[in-house]
């Protein structure tokens, strides 16, 4: 693990790298996660690809600040700045959950820097119904005033998960910042990329967990259907944490996909 100063946004970012002569790929974790959410799959991908991963702002070992911006455009600039600092003109951008939402936004803003997209257990709009979406946005706005509450709810969800897959329980420095997560949750609620999906003309792989309790398979399917030529695959799994719980299958799907990119 290393720290890098992102001049573009002023973030001190925690990142890692599996050096390999293969095609570069950058792995983005989801809400309330950290770089270890991809570690089992990253270790496999590192055998054939040049793998980069990092802690999103407000998460893990990257900078945490109550006064920082946590909207998706700021996350996008963090990623662009990381690529600048590491001398990466372009790469495959792979995101799980919220990381996939950031990846979509990055590809819309900087398509020339995206060799391909890998979107895992994610969506372009969490709740598409107009009335329900407005209620979701209202809830997310209220949550911003109660960051400790959403932090407690999220931590409660993972407390019975295997400690080796969720090491922040034994390494509190890897935990997320409550305010950051509340603000990111609001960004998720206000996100709706459905009309912009046709702009994504790069090769795209969409992976779906068969029994995702957080982002329903129908939402993931709609994402894939909105991107022309996207490859859609369902992987059997009993929760949202696909790269953690099915790393071999996720890595194999990514490797096969990357091998077919010209």
Residue 67's pLDDT band (boundaries 50, 70, 90)?
confident
Q: Is the pLDDT of residue 141 over 80?
A: yes
* Number of other CB atoms surrounding residue 1 within 10 Å: 12
Closest CA to 72 of 153, 189, 176: 189
Q: Is the pLDDT of residue 14 over 80?
A: yes
- Give the Cα-Cα-Cα angle 238, 58, 88 (nearest 5 degrees): 85
| Residue 106 pLDDT | 98
| Residue 76 pLDDT | 98
What helix, strand, coil percent values describe the chain, rounded to 5? Answer: 45, 20, 35
Closest CA to 47 of 257, 248, 234, 262: 248
Q: Is the pLDDT of residue 213 over 80?
A: yes
Cα gap 187→100, rounded to integer Å? 13
The H or E element spanning position 232 is: strand 231-235
pTM above 0.85, yes or no: yes
| Residue 210 pLDDT | 97
Q: Show me where the domains of the chain are located.
A: 2-124+194-259
Q: Which residue has the tokens 């459905």?
A: 194
Q: Is the pLDDT of residue 68 over 90?
A: no
Closest CA to 25 of 7, 42, 1: 42
Cβ neighbours of residue 135 closer than 8 Å, sequence gap 6 or more: none
Residue 21's pLDDT band (boundaries 50, 70, 90)?
confident
Mean pLDDT calculated for residue range 229-248: 96
Sign of CA dihedral 7, 8, 10, 14: negative
Residue 58's pLDDT band (boundaries 50, 70, 90)?
very high
| Helix, strand, or coil (residue 114) | strand
Query: Across the chain, how many H-helices and E-strands are there?
Result: 9, 8
For residue 123, give Cα distances in angstroms to 97, 130, 186: 8, 16, 15
Which burial class, exposed, middle or buried, applies to 248 when counting CB atoms under 10 A from its CB (0-12, 13-18, 19+)? exposed
CATH numeric code, 2-124+194-259: 3.40.50.1820
Sign of CA dihedral 208, 76, 135, 130: negative
- Give the Cα-Cα-Cα angle 47, 51, 55 (nearest 5 degrees): 135
Share of the chain above pLDDT 70, in %: 100
Q: Is the pLDDT of residue 188 over 90?
A: yes
Cα gap 146→143, rounded to integer Å? 5
Q: Is the pLDDT of residue 23 over 80?
A: yes
Q: Is the pLDDT of residue 66 over 80?
A: no
Q: Is the pLDDT of residue 241 over 80?
A: yes
Q: Is the pLDDT of residue 69 over 90?
A: yes
> pLDDT tens digit string along 106-132?
999 999 999 999 999 999 999 998 899
Mean pLDDT calculated for residue range 245-251: 97
Residue 82's pLDDT band (boundaries 50, 70, 90)?
very high
């Amino acid at each position: 693990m290393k720290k890098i100063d992102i001049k573009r946004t002023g973030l001190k970012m925690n990142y890692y790298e599996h050096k390999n002569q293969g095609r570069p790929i950058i792995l983005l974790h989801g809400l309330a996660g950290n770089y270890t959410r991809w570690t089992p799959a990253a270790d496999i991908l590192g055998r054939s690809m040049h793998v980069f991963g990092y802690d999103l702002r407000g998460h893990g070992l990257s900078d945490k600040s109550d006064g920082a911006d946590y909207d998706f455009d700021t996350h996008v600039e963090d990623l662009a700045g990381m690529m600048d600092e590491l001398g990466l003109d372009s790469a495959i951008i792979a995101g799980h959950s919220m990381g996939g939402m950031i990846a979509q936004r990055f590809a819309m803003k900087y398509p020339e820097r995206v060799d391909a997209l890998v979107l895992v257990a994610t969506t372009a709009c969490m709740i598409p119904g107009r009335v329900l979406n407005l209620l979701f946005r209202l809830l997310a706005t209220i949550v911003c005033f109660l960051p400790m509450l959403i932090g407690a709810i999220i931590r409660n969800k993972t407390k019975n998960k295997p400690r080796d897959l969720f090491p922040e329980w034994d390494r509190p420095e890897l935990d997320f910042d409550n305010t950051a997560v509340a603000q990111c949750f609001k960004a998720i609620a206000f996100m709706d990329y459905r009309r912009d999906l046709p702009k994504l003309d790069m090769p795209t792989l969409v992976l779906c967990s068969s029994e995702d309790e957080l982002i329903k398979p129908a939402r993931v399917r709609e994402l894939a259907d909105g991107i022309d030529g996207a490859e859609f695959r369902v992987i059997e799994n009993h929760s949202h944490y696909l790269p953690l719980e099915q790393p071999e299958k996720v890595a194999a799907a990514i490797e096969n996909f990357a091998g077919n990119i010209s």
